[in-house]
Each structure stands twice: as C-alpha cells, then as structure tokens.
Amino acid sequence: MARKQGGLKEYLEYKAGLDSKVVVVQHLSDTDRIKVVKPAYRSRYFAEGREYISGRMRRRVGKYENVDGVMLTLTFNPSVISKKEAWCEYGAYVSNVLNVINQYRYRRRNRYGGRWPRLSYFWVVEVQKRTGYPHIHIFFPKLRWLAPAEYLRSVCNLGRGNVKRMGAMNGAAYICKYLRKMEAWSELSQAFLWRGGCRLYSFSRGYFEKLPEKVKEWVLLAVCGVYEAWVLVMDLSIEGKRIENGRLVGFKYG
C-alpha cells in the first residue's frame, strides 16, 4: 500500500466516505441478476471486512494449520524511533530483520554444511497497549532454532526482539485473533496504520495455499451513494432484474 497524507481527521473522512459508497454490479451471462455491495465490507477498518479477511485466511493456510515452531516478537523503543515513524516503517523493518536473519543462516549453513532453506513465516501486527506503538509477532513453523540471542539483539536495532518456542498452533486462527483485536484499537492507532499503508499481516512465499483465480462473472454498473444506488436498483427492479445482497446496513431494498 502507498503511504497516505494526513492524520486522524483525514482517516475519519476516508472511513466515512468508504462507508457511504455502494457498488452495483450486473452478472455477465445472466443480465437479470444485479448485486449490491458495500466496499467497506472488504476493508480491514470495518468489522464486516475483518470477517471477510478472516474467512480468506482460513482457506489459505492449509499445510501449516497446526504445527509447532519459533516466535520472534519485535518491540519498538520510543527513545529510538517516534510513534509516527514506527507505524510508517514497521513493514520495511520486519522485511529487513527477516532478510538479515536469512543471510546469517545462509552463511552459517555454508560454514557448517547441511541444507537450510529460506525461512517460512507469517507475521501479524497489534498495538502495544502501554506505548501505542506497533508490536509485531513473527512465527516460523517447524523451526527449532532461529539465531543466537546476541545476534538477534543486534539485528533488532529499533527496539528488542524476544524469541520463544511455541507449541502446536493454527496460523490462520492466530492471525484472525489479532484481526478481531483491531476492534479495540483506538481511532488514532487505526489512523497510523492507514497513513503508513503497511500490511496488517504477511506470509512468506510457500507458507499459504494459493486460492484458485475466480473467473470474472460481474461487470460494474455504478459506484455511488446509498440514495443514488437505491434509485438505480428501484429502476432496475421495475425492469424485472433480480436484486442480490440488497439488504445492507444503510441500504434497504424490498
């Protein structure tokens, strides 16, 4: 995601604008079918969107559904980096930490022999209650050892990194837990996330199962406000069109 301009006021305006939009689409082959969708229901900033994301996560994390491994938790030091910078840069920081650890393990493998593939992982961010800074949990499935504690301390130069062994856990369920926790985030913390444009979670390549690509079935008719969509749908229904998903929050049809 690209970094956005503005702060809390701009974020609230963005969220209100997204909540007021309605998308009307028509089925490509059966043109009598009309669907009404709210983009907010796919957004991480709304409860319905987080439910949608959770459903996709459960389908994507297959082969690592219940395995043990190692957890690395990254905590920022407020005396080293500001809160605004931490929220804007934590995605790049996580990527850098992972790249450096992979390089270390590659060099160690060459020195001592053996086959060490690149790390598989997923990570998810939450708000640290005491400071309001981002707090990142990185899980490495089926891993027994990550790197020496001293080395990890030097890598996590914007704060500290704590490592511990984890028992069997469900990666999708773990991420969904933190998605649900976002309900309790302050609007300021959500604004930081929105402005920084960083991911809420991420996977390494090969961790998840790729979902089959959907064949395009719908064509866009209109993106408009709730009232304009209601008028459009009423006109389409008079023409004999079948309206699907018409009963949305803020949009009542039929």
pLDDT tens string 58-110: 777 666 677 888 899 999 999 999 998 999 889 999 999 999 999 888 887 76
* Beta-ladder partners of 34: 26, 243
pLDDT of 254: 45
Q: Domain coordinates of the chain in residue numbers?
A: 8-58+214-244, 62-203
In which residue are the tokens 């929220």 written? 87
pLDDT of 209: 64
- How far apart (Å, rounded) are the C-alpha atoms in residues 157 and 167? 28
Give the other-Cβ count within 10 Å of 110's Cβ.
10
Give the other-Cβ count within 10 Å of 219's Cβ.
10
Are 163 and 71 in contact by the 8 Å Cβ rule? The answer is: yes
Comparing CA positions, the residue from 88, 117, 114 lying closest to residue 191 is 88
In which residue are the tokens 């028509």 written? 26
pLDDT of 82: 92
Those residues whose C-beta lies under 8 Å from the C-beta of residue 214, and which sit 6 or more positions away, are: none
Within 13 Å and on the Cβ side, how many CA atoms surround 95?
A: 7
The Cα-based distances of 61 to 16, 56, 110, 169, 173 in angstroms read: 32, 9, 31, 12, 9
- DSSP for 157-206 reads TTEEEEEEEEEEE-HHHHHHHHHHHGGGS-HHHHHHHHHHT--SEEE-TT
Give the other-Cβ count within 10 Å of 112's Cβ.
8
pLDDT, one tens digit for every residue, the chain (254 residues): 455 666 889 999 999 999 888 888 888 888 888 888 888 888 999 988 888 888 877 777 666 677 888 899 999 999 999 998 999 889 999 999 999 999 888 887 766 566 667 888 889 999 998 899 999 999 888 888 888 888 888 888 899 898 888 877 777 787 788 888 888 899 999 999 898 888 888 888 766 666 667 778 889 988 888 778 878 878 877 777 777 765 554 455 44
Token pair in block for residue 176: 């969904």
